[in-house]
Every structure is written in structure tokens, then in C-alpha cells.
Amino acid sequence: MRNVSGSPAGKPRHGATGWSGVRGKRVVVTGGTRGLGEQIVRLLAAEGARVATCARTAEDLAALAASVDTAELFTDALDVTEPGRLESFVATSAKRFGGLDGVVACVGGSRGGRFERAEAEDWAATWEMNVGHTARLVRTAVPHLRAAGGGSVVVISSISGWKPGPYVQYGVAKSAQIQLAASLARELGPNGIRVNAVSPGSMLIPGRRWDRMRRDDPDGFAAFVAAELPGGAPVAPEEVARVVAFLLSDLSSGISGAHLPVDRAQNAPSPDGY
Ligand SMILES: NC(=O)c1ccc[n+]([C@@H]2O[C@H](COP(=O)([O-])OP(=O)(O)OC[C@H]3O[C@@H](n4cnc5c(N)ncnc54)[C@H](OP(=O)(O)O)[C@@H]3O)[C@@H](O)[C@H]2O)c1
């Protein structure tokens, strides 16, 4: 099993890549205070992009802004599932930046338990957090992207969106995001807008599920890695962030409608079976 070192949450764990593919791009990223979203925001800022991000916790947004070395970060505390708030955030971001060149739908997650315990409200909440928020984000951004002569949309799906595993309400929603990206790539292509889906594998995020399992159940974690992760370790959020930045950049101008797994050839999404 390969050793993957984490660093304390909130600390940048990578520098700029050295290429200027997103320099000056104006990008909205939902859910930028933790996990993958945080790494996307930090990388884009390091590369010279102008970034707007949101989360529900104002203190975390303030801490992020204080630790990112750019004057070009705009933050807003909101719940993306609250009607109208996401839309006004996108509009305000476009106004502050004088337009938009890209959006990243990164907020996502699951509500409820296994199939027989998951209620209708769990399905609805999971759908809205993943698919609903993505659709409203893109719909609101389209006029701004079109006005800029085109742009790039990145939808964060999951390995759970194309490989079976619990919880099914989550997998179904992440699967729908892949379909959404493929369809919108066709529908928005004539406007010069590219749309792609990125599916991370099980990411090793400090303090989150796989990191906790590595600490609390090292034998179970080692068995998970041996069975499902031929790369010898879960993918790191920084690795996924680099792919997202590439898709936002003009360097990827030929890619649209793609579904791009970033999972080191992971097999099952979790050790939880099916
Ligand atoms: N973690 C994994 O292993 C994994 C694997 C594959 C795919 N993914 C996908 O990758 C994406 C990011 O996952 P993650 O694990 O990195 O996320 P995370 O650590 O749970 O972070 C979520 C971020 O989104 C914000 N957020 C959550 N709900 C929100 C809401 N309703 N409105 C506004 N902001 C909200 C959080 O801040 P607040 O809590 O303050 O709102 C935080 O900034 C998700 O789409 C997830 O499905 C994750």
C-alpha cells in the first residue's frame, strides 16, 4: 500500500502548476471550503484565475479568503439548495468579475441510508444537492458564458455515478450528472460552451471518511486498498483539482461531452459491497 501524506485541513498542499491555462479566467466554484472544492479554489487562485465560491458556513469562507493569496476571491455564504440564492450568487459574481468564463458544480453528497431505509425526502434532498443545484448553476451561468464568447462547465460526479455501490440515491444522482453534462455539451455547444463531467474515485481528504477509516481501522483500510485500488492508494483531491483546472482552460478546447474518471483505476466505490 502506498503512503499518501495528508496535511492539516485549510493549508495549501500544492503550488501552481507552472502553466497559465486558467490565468485571468473568471470562475464560479460551488462548495469551496473543504475537500475537492477547496483544492480547486486554491489551485485556480494560484494559477491567476478570478474565483467566486460559496458554502453554508461563513466562518469557513472567511478562513479560506484569509489564507488564499489573491485579491480576486469572492465568497458568499449560502445554501445552494435554497431557491434563488445560488442564482443571485452567480449574478453577483458575474457582475464583480465583468463576466464569467467557467463554472464548477462541486457541492454534492448523500442523504439517508440504505435503500430500504431511505425515505422520499432523502431521495429528493440528494437529487437537489447534486443534480438540481448543478442544473440551476449552469442555467444561470449560460447567459454570462455566452456573452464571453463561450466557456467551460465542469460537473463533479463520482465513481458512484458509474459503478454500483451504496447508497443508491447518491449513485443515481451522480449518474444523472454524467448524463446532464453529456446532453448539455450538445445543447450548449453552439454557444461555444463546453461541458464535461469529472468522476473522482474515493478521495483521501483529511478528517473525512477514508482518512478516518485509515486511522480507526487500518486493517480494513488496507483490505479496501488491496481489493479495490490497483494504484495502491486513493486519489488525492489535488490530483482531481488539476484535471478540473485543465478542463476549465483553453488547453482542453477539444474536450466536451466527456466523462472523465480520476480514480487510479479504482474498482468498487467502497468496501460496503453489492
Ligand atoms: N469525498 C469523496 O471521496 C468523493 C468521491 C467522489 C466524488 N465526490 C464528489 O465530490 C464533490 C465534493 O465532495 P467532497 O467530499 O470534497 O465535499 P465536502 O468535503 O463534503 O465539502 C463540501 C463543500 O461544499 C459545501 N456545501 C455542502 N453542502 C452545501 C450546500 N447545500 N450549499 C452550499 N455549500 C455546501 C461545504 O461547506 P458547508 O458545509 O459550510 O456548506 C464544503 O465547502 C461532491 O460532489 C461529491 O459528491 C466526493
Per domain, the residue ranges of the chain are 26-262
Asked if pLDDT for residue 193 goes beyond 50, the answer is yes
What would the grid cell of residue 46 be? 494560484
Among 15-19, 123-127, 185-189, the minimum mean pLDDT is found in 15-19
Q: Any bridge partners for residue 259, and if so which?
A: 197
The pLDDT tens digits for 226-268 are 999 999 999 999 999 999 999 999 999 999 999 999 999 999 9
CA of 110 to the centre of ligand 1 (A): 10
At residue 176, the pLDDT reads: 98
Q: How far is CA 144 from CA 8, 101, 102, 167, in A?
A: 36, 8, 9, 36
Asked if pLDDT for residue 205 goes beyond 90, the answer is yes
At residue 9, the pLDDT reads: 38
Percent residues over pLDDT 70 in the chain: 93
CA of 93 to the centre of ligand 1 (A): 20
The pLDDT tens digits for 72-105 are 899 999 999 999 999 999 999 999 999 999 999 9
Of 28, 103, 107, which is best to mutate to test ligand 1, by the most ligand atoms within 8 angstroms of its C-beta? 107
At residue 23, the pLDDT reads: 94
Of 4, 34, 213, which is best to mutate to test ligand 1, by the most ligand atoms within 8 angstroms of its C-beta? 34
Give the residue-averaged pLDDT of 150-156.
99
CA of 228 to the centre of ligand 1 (A): 23
Asked if pLDDT for residue 18 goes beyond 90, the answer is no
Position in ligand 1 atom list of the atom nearest CA 77 = 33
At residue 91, the pLDDT reads: 98
Task: Work out the pLDDT band at 7, boundaries 50, 70, 90.
Answer: very low
**Given CA atoms 173, 174, 178, 181 in this order, what sign does their dihedral have?**
positive
Pick the residue with more confidence: 209 or 154?
Answer: 154
- State residue 200 phi and psi, 5-degree precision: -70, 150
Active site residue 274: no
Position in ligand 1 atom list of the atom nearest CA 79 = 32
Position in ligand 1 atom list of the atom nearest CA 202 = 3
Instruction: Give residue for cell 490565468.
Output: 23
- Secondary structure element (H or E) that encloses residue 66, with its range: helix 58-67
At residue 5, the pLDDT reads: 37
> Under CATH, what is the fold of the domain 26-262?
Rossmann fold (3.40.50)
For the chain, the average pLDDT equals: 93
Pick the residue with more confidence: 70 or 136?
Answer: 136
Asked if pLDDT for residue 192 goes beyond 80, the answer is yes
* Residues comprising the chain, all counted: 274
What whole-number distance in Å separates Cα of residue 215 and Cα of residue 213? 5
Give the residue-averaged pLDDT of 110-120.
97
What whole-number distance in Å separates Cα of residue 231 and Cα of residue 14? 21
Of 170, 221, 224, 246, which is the active-site residue? 170
Are the C-beta atoms of residues 153 and 142 closer than 8 Å to each other?
Answer: no
- Nearest Cα residue to atom 24 of ligand 1: 31
Q: Which residues 6+ apart lie within 8 Å of 100 measured at CB?
A: 26, 27, 28, 90, 93, 94, 141, 144, 145, 148, 151
- Report whether residue 56 contacts ligand 1, using a CB cutoff of 6 Å: yes
- Report whether residue 55 contacts ligand 1, using a CB cutoff of 6 Å: yes
Give the residue-averaged pLDDT of 120-135.
98
- Secondary structure element (H or E) that encloses residue 53, with its range: strand 50-55
- Nearest Cα residue to atom 39 of ligand 1: 56
What would the grid cell of residue 170 be? 447518491
Asked if pLDDT for residue 4 goes beyond 50, the answer is no
